[in-house]
Amino acid sequence: MAPADLPYLKTNPSVIFFTDFDGTITLEDSNDYLTDNLGFGQTKRRKLNIDVLEKKTSFRDAFWQMLGSVKTPFNECVETLCKVMKLDPHFVEFYEWAKANNVPIVVLSSGMIPIIRALLEKLLGHKPDHIVIIANDVESRDGKHINTPGGWQIKYHDDSHFGHDKSLEIKPYAQLPHDERPTLLYAGDGVSDLSAAAETDLLFAKKGNDLVTFCEREGMPFTTFEDWSSILATSKDILSGKVSVKKVAQEGLEKEQKDEA
């Protein structure tokens, strides 16, 4: 794909920020909440997550089982999540900074577009006009209406073993000559972010989560974050040229190794 055809290059940004949604922009994972409270529960969900990390099953199959255990009508799922989900307290500030500084925000999620859109509108207090959402969708199960018990199922974005291979959205940008493309940043927290982690210049991995474990095991450069205040500070420094992504990643890896020693 030619650079002129890549949508996030239209405003000629210096930085593009790709991010996961659940547990990254929100404090909790909405899909985990549904599975734990309306589906087969936390114990079985955690076992499936570990199976994915240990490559015993695909994320696609594990996630299908998790959401398949939720029989609550879809509209009730959305209503419940809008009541209980909270936004990272610093994300709004990041959103406003990104909008003012020509930094596109692209949400790459293994969740479902209607839920993400509803939560962003509720939590931001307005329609998110500076966020592009690329995610899975929802569809009827067995011809039922999605707002009836057992009436919905996830509709995967692609045929990959992730269900939504997030790297596919980033690759066309990553493959551009280095001096012709923006800096690519990514924030995530879990196993669904594995495919995207290798494609960007710097990965922000949420401290204490599965993604950090994977990055350490694979020797992948990353820096950890606890909330969006540190992501905002680092992104500002990168955009201004105060620091390089390589330096941030190296320091992040060294800090994590030191903390574990």
Read off the CATH number of the domain in which 240 is found.
3.40.50.1000
Please give the Cα distance from 210 to 245 (Å, whole number).
Answer: 22
Please give the Cα distance from 15 to 173 (Å, whole number).
Answer: 11
Q: Is the dihedral of CA 254, 256, 259, 260 positive or negative?
A: negative
Please give the Cα distance from 183 to 49 (Å, whole number).
Answer: 31
Amino acid at 132: V
Please give the Cα distance from 222 to 255 (Å, whole number).
Answer: 10
Q: Which residue has the tokens 């330096």?
A: 247
Number of domains, the chain: 1
Please give the Cα distance from 60 to 165 (Å, whole number).
Answer: 10
- Please check the confidence at residue 242 and state whether its pLDDT lies above 90: yes
- pLDDT single digits (tens) 187-240: 998 766 877 878 888 899 998 887 888 887 877 778 999 999 999 999 999 999
- pLDDT single digits (tens) 98-144: 999 999 999 999 999 999 999 999 999 999 999 999 999 999 999 99
Q: Which helix (H) or strand (E) holds 202?
A: strand 202-206
- Give the ranges where the chain is alpha helix by DSSP (H): 30-38, 42-53, 59-68, 74-84, 91-100, 113-124, 167-174, 194-197, 210-218, 228-240, 245-260
List the one residue out of 101, 81, 103 whose CA is nearest residue 33. Answer: 81
* Catalytically active residues, by annotation: 20, 22
Q: Is the pTM of this model over 0.85?
A: yes
- pLDDT single digits (tens) 138-190: 999 999 999 999 999 999 999 998 888 999 999 999 999 988 899 999 999 87
Domain of residue 182: give its range.
3-260
- Give the ranges where 152-227 is alpha helix by DSSP (H): 167-174, 194-197, 210-218
- pLDDT single digits (tens) 29-77: 999 999 999 999 999 999 998 998 888 999 999 999 999 999 999 999 9
